[in-house]
Amino acid sequence: MEISLLGKNALVGGSSKGIGEAIARQLAASGANVTLMSRNETKMKRLITEFDSEQGQKHNYLVVDFSSFEAFKQRISKFFQENTIDILVNNTQGPEAGGALEKNVEDYQQAFDLLFKSVVFTTELALKNMIKNQWGRIINVASISVKEPLSYLALSNSIRAAVVTWAKSLSIDVAKNGITINNVLTGYFDTDRITQLNAKKAKKLGVLESEVRSNMENQVPAQRIGNPHEYGFLVAFLASEKSAYITGTNIPIDGGLLKSL
């Protein structure tokens, strides 16, 4: 099965590294015009020179700071005044790790701005053109923790759960317009985020980081941590015409880690 996204414009959040970068690379390889979105301008400039453009694509980047919603709101609003998007991948950096007893209401507000408000606002802007064209793909990078909360990620557990229920509600309203909205529930992937979380956990437990990683791998039925490029394949499919009848879903990509149905 060939995935072709020729002529489609994609905007990918958090795409200067990790899962976001892998998604952007695969969308470009599938023919899309990709706009990267993150804080790291130097990295984004380098990445777009590496992206596939043999099919005449034009790639770009947008410097944003997801941690400041008002600044992000101004920046993304200006972008949509000058551009239209067919494929939107909502992805940001994760909030600070920690258990529920370690967090206060201000922490939850910051996480809400980061993970929820930025997603909803960007989606609202993207939907205008998608509805006009009667075609669109919205993919939210979420987490398996919305089904099975991780005790050390209280902020992420809570706010990402809000994102997926909002997305389900919205998917019902826009399905008639040829627009699909799906959530990808992320398991353990080999990214800087996992490395940082493992380092914090190792320090807390007084063990080696290698031991934490080994224990993590052993929890996964596939007995390994995922490679970000595998994530890119799934998102490219969800962004394509091939997935037109898939919407309002939560799709785990976790090597079988989730125990629930």
Tell me how far CA of residue 127 lies from CA of 12, 36, 160, 164, 246, in angstroms: 15, 19, 21, 17, 18
| pLDDT on residue 238 | 98
| pLDDT on residue 19 | 97
Whole-angstrom distance, CA of residue 144 vs CA of residue 157: 9
**What string of DSSP letters covers 115-159?**
IIIHHHHHHHHHHHHHHHHT-EEEEEEEEGGGTS--TTBHHHHHH
| pLDDT on residue 20 | 97
Q: 3-state DSSP call for residue 16?
A: coil
| pLDDT on residue 197 | 80
Identify the structural domains of the chain with CATH numbers, from first to last.
Answer: 9-188+228-253 (3.40.50.720)
Helix axes 154-174, 118-133, angle to 10 degrees: 20
Tens of pLDDT along 242-260? 999 999 999 999 999 999 8
Helix (H) and strand (E) counts in the chain: 9, 7
Whole-angstrom distance, CA of residue 168 vs CA of residue 176: 14
Tell the burial category of 6 from Cβ atoms under 10 Å away from its Cβ (0-12, 13-18, 19+): exposed
Tens of pLDDT along 220-229? 999 999 999 9
Lowest mean pLDDT, pick from 2-16, 44-58, 116-130: 44-58
Tens of pLDDT along 213-222? 999 999 999 9
pLDDT above 90: residue 1: no
Single pTM value for the model: 0.95
Q: How much of the chain exceeds pLDDT 90, in percent?
A: 83
| pLDDT on residue 204 | 82
Tens of pLDDT along 152-171? 899 999 999 999 999 999 99
| pLDDT on residue 254 | 97
pLDDT above 90: residue 133: yes
| pLDDT on residue 212 | 86
Tens of pLDDT along 18-70? 999 999 999 999 999 999 999 999 999 999 999 877 778 999 999 999 999 99
Per-residue pLDDT, averaged over 135-153, amounts to 94
Q: Higher-confidence residue: 52 or 212?
A: 212
What's the pLDDT band for 17 if we cut at 50, 70, 90? very high
Q: Which tokens in the block code for residue 233?
A: 């394949």
| pLDDT on residue 83 | 97
Helix axes 18-29, 41-50, angle to 10 degrees: 30
pLDDT above 90: residue 193: no
Phi, psi of 239 (to 5 degrees): -85, -5
| pLDDT on residue 195 | 87
Query: Starting from the edge strand earliest in sequence, which strands make up the sheet with 33-38, in order?
Result: 60-63, 33-38, 9-13, 87-90, 136-143, 179-186, 250-253
